[in-house]
Structure 1
C-alpha cells in the first residue's frame, strides 16, 4: 500500500492465482471449519487486483489517454452489477450456492493467461524498502478486528456483546498505533502524506462516503425484494441488474470526451441522479409494487454510476506524480472498500432496528377498540380464516409494512446525504485532466 515499491507485473499473476486457489478451496470445503479461513485469503488475493489493474493502466497509458483507460476500466468493473446478481441468484435457486465460488476459477485462469500475453516485459523498476513491521501488524489487527466486528455485530446485538466490545477496543487501539507510527516512520506501509494533496483528500472522502451509501442500498434492495415481495434470488437479481446497463454504454463515451469536461460537473450530476433515484424508490416502494417499479429506478441509476467511478478517480489522482500513483490508487480503493463494508453493516442494522420500531407502532393499532382492525378481522374470517389465522396474516402484513417503511427511510436519508456531498466535491481544484497538475498551493 505504501507505493514506495513499484510492483512487477508478475504480482498480478500471484494475486490472481491466490484468488483462484482460495475460491476453489471454498467450493470444496464450504461445509467445513475452513470456510472462515479461506475467504480471508481470498480477500488477500482479490483486494489488490483493483488497485493493481488501475495503477498498471495509469503507468502504461500516456497521459492523454488515461481518461479513456479509466473509463474502460470502470466499465468492466461495473459489469459485476449486471452479471453478479442474475448469475448468483440463478445458481442459488437451481443448484447450490457453493457453485458461486467455483465459477471464479476458469475466469481467473483466463485472466492469468491474458495477463501473461499483454503485460509481459513491462516490469517496473523495483526499489527495495524496509518492511514496516509495526505498521503492517497494526493494520492487520485494526482492520481485521473492525471487519469481524462489522460482520458479526448485528448477529451478536452489537455492544451488548463482550466479543464486539473487545473487537472494537482492539481495532481502535491498533488503528491509533498505526496512525501515530505511520506519521513518524521513514518507510510507512500506509503513505499518509498523500492526504496533503487537497484533491486526493476530497476525492477519497467523496468516493468513500458515496460508495458507502451506494453499496449499502445495493445490498438492501435484493433482501427487501425477497423478504417482503417474495422474489426468488434470480428475480431479485434481475430487478437489481439494470443499474449496470447504462454505465457499460456511457463509460467509453464519457472517457472519450473527458478532457473537455469538468470532472466536478460529472460528479455533481452523478450525486443528483443518485438522490433522484433514491427519492423515487422511497416514493414508489409499497406492498402492491410490481417488478417494473423496482427495476426502473435501478436502470435510471445507471446514469449516476456512469458518472461516478471515472470522474472521482480522476479527481483523486490528479496532481500526483507517476511514482505515487500506485500508493494513491491502493489507499483510495482500500478506503472505498472499507466504506462499503461499513455501509452494509449500518444499512442492515438500521433496517432491522427501524422495522422493530415501526412494527411496534403499527401493532398498537390492532386492538378491539379500532373499528378498522375489527373490520379487517371480519373480512378475513369471512374468507374462511380462523381468528388465529387472521391474526397471523395481519402480523405478517405489519412486518412487511415495517420493512418497507424502514427501507424507505434509508432511501430518503441516502438521497439527502448525496445532496450534501455535492458541496464537498467543489472544494477540489482543477485541472483534473492529463494536461497538468492540480495546483500544489491548494493541495497542502
Structure 2
C-alpha cells in the first residue's frame, strides 16, 4: 500500500475541481452517504430492548447487534487505502453505498437474531470505506484553497450523526417499527449512489493491483475483532475474571504484536503503518483519537444516567443531547473559511480548552438538576465540536498526495473510531467503579448503631407512612442515586483534565497555515 507506482509511469494529473451547482450537489450526495453511515453506528442503541423483545432474545444477546457492526466496521476502515488502489475511489465508494443499502434492507427484514447479526456484519464491513473516501472525494472536488471548507462540510455530517442517532432511533422505535431504523437508509443510499456515480464516474482515480497481504489481513481481523468484542462484553462478563475475556485479550495482544511486525516489514502491507513516521499524521491522529474517545464515552454515559436515575424516556434523553449539533452545524462552515488564514493548531487548542470548560461545568451536576442545566453545557459543547474535527483533520492530511489520502484518511479514522469504542468501555467501567466506591463511603455511617441514621429512618417512616423495610429501601435508592451522580461527576472532571493534558500533542505537528487547510496539499 505504501509502494509507489511503477517507475516508468507517474500518477495521472488529478481532474479539475467541480464548480457551481454540480459541486453543491456532489457535496450533498457524498455528505449524505457519510451521514447514513455515522448515523447507523448509534441509531440502533436505543432500540436494542425493542429489537430483543420482538426477536425473543435477552437484551444482553441483543447488544450483539451493536458489537458485530462495530467489529466489522473497525476491521474494514483501515483497508480503504488498499481497496482504493485496486478498484478506484469512485467505484469503491459507490459500491460501498449500494452494498450498505442492501445490508440495511436485510437488517430490516431479518426474522431472527442470527440473520440480523449476519446482516449487521455485512453492513459494518461495507461501511468501512465510506468515511475515508468521502474525505478524499470531497478534497478532490473542491479547489485547493477551499479544502478547509470541504472538510467543514464533512465534519458537519460526522458530528451530527452520533448526536441525532439516539433521538431519531428512539422516535422511530416508539412511533413505528424498529425495522425502519434500517429502512431509512434505502432512499438516502440510492440517492447518494446515483448522484455520486453520475458526477464522478469520469473522475476515477488511478488503479493498480498490489498483491493481497493475506497474513496481514488475517492478523488485522484477529486482533481488531477480538479486542472489539472484549471491550463490548467486558463489563457484562466481569472483565478478566471471565475465561472468555482472558482468551480474547491474549488473542488480541499476540495477534496485534505479530501484526505490527508483519506490516512494518512486508513489501506490500495491507495497512500503511509507515504513515505514523510523519509528525503531522502521528500527532494529529493521536490527538483527535484520544479526544474523540473521551467525547464519545461521555456522550454514551449522559443519556444512560438520565434514563436510569432521572427517569427520562429514551427519546427525551436523546433530545437533551441533540442541541450539541446546533453550534456544530452553524460554526463548521465558519471554521472552514478562517482555517486557511489561521494556524490549525491554535483552533484545535481552543477546542480542547473549551471541551475542558464544558466538562468542568458538568462535574458540578446535582441530583435535583433541571433540564435547562443539562442542556446548557451540551449546547455550549457544540462550539468546540465545530473547532475540533476540521483543524485536526487538516493537520492529519496536510501534505498528503491525492493517491495517499484514502490510506491516510482510512488509518486515521480507524484509530479514531477504535478509540471511541475504547473510550466508551473505559468510561462505563470507570463510572461503575466510582459509583461502587462512593456507595461504600456513603453507607459507612448507615448503621443501626448510629442514632442520626436511625432517627432519619424513623422520620421517613412517619412522614411517608412506610414500613421500616420500605424506608430502608428508599434510603438505599436515594443513596445509590447520589453515588451514581458523584461517580459521574468524577468522570466529567477527569475528562476535563484529559482534554487539557493532550494539548501538547497538537503542538508536535507542523503549522498548516496558508496551505488551504492542508488536507488537499498536493491533491491538485
Name the SS of the counterpart of 1:286 in structure 2.
coil
Q: Write the distance in 2 (CA, Å) between the matches of 1:136 and 1:64.
A: 37
Q: Which residue number corresponds to residue 242 of structure 2? A: 161
Match 1:132 to one of 196, 209, 213:
213
* Contact 2:344–2:517 under 8 Å retained in 1: no
The alpha carbon displacement at 1:341 in A equals 0.5
Which position in structure 1 is the counterpart of 2:160? 79
Q: Alpha-carbon deviation of 1:436?
A: 9.8
Q: 1:302 aligns with which of 356, 372, 382?
A: 382
| Match of residue 255, structure 1, among 298, 315, 336 | 336
CA displacement 1:410-438 (0-9 Å, x = unmatched):
11001001001112211111235526979
In structure 1, the partner of 2:371 is 291
The structure-2 alpha-carbon separation of the partners of 1:18 and 1:432, relative to structure 1 and needing over 3 Å to count, comes to farther
**Alignment of 1:271 onto 2:349:** no
Give the deviation of 1:87 after TM superposition.
1.2
Separation (CA, whole Å) in 1 of partners of 2:199 and 2:288: 30
Decide whether the 8 Å contact of 1:81 with 1:243 is kept in 2.
no
Determine the structure 1 residue equivalent to 2:91.
Answer: 10
Matched, 1:330 2:379: no
Q: What are the ranges of 5 or more consecutive residues in structure 2 without an aligned counterpart? A: 1-78, 520-524
Equivalent pairs, count: 437
Give the direction of change, closer, same or farther, for the CA distance of 1:251–1:414 in structure 2 (3 Å limit).
same
Structure 1 CA distance for aligned equivalents of residues 179 and 424 of structure 2:
22
Counterpart CA distance in 1 for 2:446 and 2:186 is 53
Q: Which runs of 5+ in 1 are unaligned?
A: 439-444
- 2:483 aligns with 402
2:270 paired residue number = 189
CA contact (8 A) 1:82 1:245 kept: no
Is the alpha carbon distance of 1:436 and 1:38 closer, same or farther for their aligned partners in structure 2, counting shifts above 3 Å? Answer: closer
Question: Quick one: structure 1 residues 358 and 242, their matched pair in 2 at CA, closer, same or farther if it must change by over 3 Å?
Answer: same
Secondary structure at 1:319's aligned position in 2? Answer: coil
CA displacement at 1:310 relative to structure 2: 0.4
Q: Using the alignment, how far apart are the partners of 2:376 and 2:248 within structure 1?
A: 41
- Alignment-derived partner of residue 441 in structure 1: none
1:167-222 deviations in Å (ceiling 9; x for gaps): 11111111111111111111111111111110110001101100010000001110
Pairing 1:117–2:198 present: yes
CA apart distance, 1:112: 1.8
For the aligned residue pairs, the C-alpha RMSD in angstroms reads: 1.8
Question: Do 2:446 and 2:453's aligned partners in 1 also have CA atoms closer than 8 Å?
Answer: yes
State how far apart, in whole Å, the 2-side matches of 1:107 and 1:378 are.
Answer: 61
Deviates more, 1:30-39 or 1:343-352: 30-39
TM-score by length of 2: 0.80
Could you list the per-position Cα deviations for residues 281-315 of structure 1 after superposition, in whole angstroms to 9, with x for gaps in the alignment?
A: 111x2110010111110000011100000000001
Q: What is the aligned partner in structure 1 of residue 510 from structure 2?
A: 429
C-alpha distance in 2, partners of 1:105/1:154? 34
Tell me the CA shift for residue 393 of structure 1. Answer: 1.1
Q: Please state how far the C-alpha of 1:15 moved relative to its aligned partner.
A: 1.1
Preserved contact between residue 158 and residue 164 of structure 1 (Cα < 8 Å) = yes
Q: For 1:24 and 1:189, how far apart are their aligned partners in 2?
A: 30
